[in-house]
Structure 1
Amino acid sequence: MGEEFNVHQMCEHLVDKNGNRIDVNELAGAYLSVFELKAFFRKCTDYSDEEIYALSKYIDKLDGTNYRFPEAAKVRKRIEEAAGVKRSIVSKQIAIPICVAVFLVTIWRLGAVVGEGNTAALIVYTLFVIGICLAIVFPQIQAQRKYGKGEFKFLGKFKFVSGLNLPQNAKCKVVCLNKKIAVEAIGQEVNLSTEKIINVDILTNTEIQKQYVSSVGGAIAGAMVLGAFGAILGGAATQRNIKINTKYLIFTYRGEDKPEYIIFDASNNIASAKRFCKEFRGLNKNSKIKIDI
């Protein structure tokens, strides 16, 4: 009760970086998840991480002002500009209508090209584009419903390489949540707490080979990752030429007595892999791990 009371008191005197008062009801109505609220506080205020986490959880539970979608976007823009934060020129609210407009113009132009006598091609193209959109959006909606609005951040789909009890090249859905990473594949779900994560990185097999030959180096210790990549590199420390430049998403985390690795092939989804790296950039950057080889 004491912690909740303190957070309540803080909410009555919230200020941004420029000293402007922040209306809690506006925040609760304009920002729809703990993730969005945490992002706002980090950009626009000078509160500590502990305070931001407590405030975000508390405000997310409030009803807040009932804004419509366009109104909420305007409120967010006003609040963030008052704090001196420049918003991206192309926000989601702008990007979505632009994408819809481009799609409609494309359909119109394609209809003019194929002519009235070949509407079948137009229908097939339309269904194809709609199918791609659904394939991108539906997994996100499904994951958000499963884990909750305040927990889900984003997800990516990759092929499994090593580090879990899964078959090679199994298709995995890697879900980023507030407090863990969930890996879903072939009816299984494996959870990795974010507190255990040391580093998330993207390495090509050329970069891995350099660490393999030199034994140690970089964010990933070569001597520790050999077991995971031995088959990929051909199992020879003197091998120096690898032609296929595959990109791997590597989660390094604290095992029982040494660092462990979960590795995915990110070659076909490098954008999602970069998002994971960005999410965990600087995580535990002061942590030091002793490795004996």
Structure 2
Amino acid sequence: MSETSVAAPADLAELRAMLSAVAGPINFIGGGTDMLIAGRPMPAVGLLIDLSRIAGMAFICADDGGIRVGGATTVAAIAAHRGIATRLPALAEAAAQCGSVQIRNRATIGGNIANAAPAADLVPVLVAAKARLGCIGRDGASRELAICDYAPDRGFLIAEVILPRDGLLPRSAFVKLGPRLDLSISRLNIALLAEFQDGRFGDVRIAAGALGPRPLRLRIAEAALAGRKLEHATLRDFLAALAADVDAAIPGRNSQAYKRRAISGLGLDLIAQAVGLSPRDQLFEDVVQ
């Protein structure tokens, strides 16, 4: 017989008290898509805490400052939120491409991060946006971590995702490559945040998933775009830099050659989306010839 017990706290105060009182293993469940869809087994022992009924964990605040998203906010709510679509279009786009309608209606942003899948769609955008995580520890106390410092085995619950104002650049885009058009798990995904004015890039941040155990910044590609005019030479250097980032991330991997080629097409689509051009624009067509 299973030794797992289940609790469903009503609010954050009850949750904090529960965390500080329990000595054994604790697991959290929000949307539970991995258990329902992927068949991940229930924890064999310890306390399983249902986050879906906790008041104050599902919200979106996109004001004139930064953006704050509750950890139990569904991916569907993020995809549909006008404020996010205006302030950080890449996050809305990544959410809209995450799984099926049914999955998006259950999956949460906290779960997408905590699951720590290399191909998680929301995480590259959050990395590029310099997101911070408002977490609750086993002692019930609050902590704030940079998303790049988060590790699921540290036992922190993600209560909210904080996107600071200085991390939100005026242009953003997200693209992915999967094995089929619908319900695809990314074989490669890329997010870009950038300043772009009068045909020239300013600050640029790019992050990619499915190139390693966790999404990572593509520093060589960032440097190839930053401060440069959008023209053929820039795009050619950008594509070469993307390939170099792949080589640095997965040297000797069987998928290296494939992803070096695949990232070029995704990279051009990413730039086109960010600057508001068609990927069939002559500028991009000339580069791939």
The two structures share one fold, judged by TM-score above 0.5: no
**Structure with more relative contact order (C-alpha pairs < 8 Å, separation 6 or more):** 2
TM-score (norm 1): 0.27
